[in-house]
Amino acid sequence: MEASWASSEHARRTMRANRRRDTKPELALRSMLHSRGLRFRVDCSPMRGVRSRADIVFSKAKIVVFVDGCFWHGCPEHFIMPKTNTDYWSTKISRNSERDSAVNRKLKDAGWTVIRVWEHEDSSAAADRIEAEWKRAVQ
């Protein structure tokens, strides 16, 4: 068996149990957007050359929404650096932030509107923001 990056077997199991899609904040936001009559694609790459998969994509309006987890993306309000394996985690979170910025730039350069929502944000307020941008894009 190969060596694990995790600091313990418990940490490894916990990390592997994290969902890539259909998280509670994502489902709440999608439900709210759908109830407002907005239709979108889920968990897909918005364009060729972008490996990151967006949580919500409005293809015709060229709007892409990412629902970012506070831990994984280094939320300024809620991120707390783990006490063990600190070198690994600081590098990991930094790389995630750098990748987010690069993806934002690439999409914006291609004419997409990028909306990032923190998992702790009120889904109704986030849906308001997204709907307003969608209305602006389709008119």
Residue 41 belongs to a domain with what CATH number? 3.40.960.10
Domain with 42, as residue range(s), is 21-138
130 sits in the region (left: phi over 0; alpha: psi -120 to 50; else beta) called: alpha
Structure letter (DSSP) for residue 62 = T
**Phi and psi torsions of 63, nearest 5°:** -120, 135
Is residue 10 in some structural domain? no
More confident residue, 19 or 121: 121
Is residue 2 in some structural domain? no
Which range has the worst mean pLDDT, 30-39, 47-56, 103-112? 47-56
Is residue 6 in some structural domain? no
Is residue 62 in some structural domain? yes
Task: Give residue-wise pLDDT tens across range 41-86.
Answer: 999 999 998 889 999 999 999 999 999 999 999 999 999 999 988 9
Is residue 104 in some structural domain? yes
Instruction: Answer whether residue 132 shows pLDDT above 80.
Output: yes
Query: Does the model's pTM come out above 0.75?
Result: yes
Is residue 41 in some structural domain? yes
Is residue 16 in some structural domain? no
Is residue 113 in some structural domain? yes
Total number of domains constituting the chain: 1
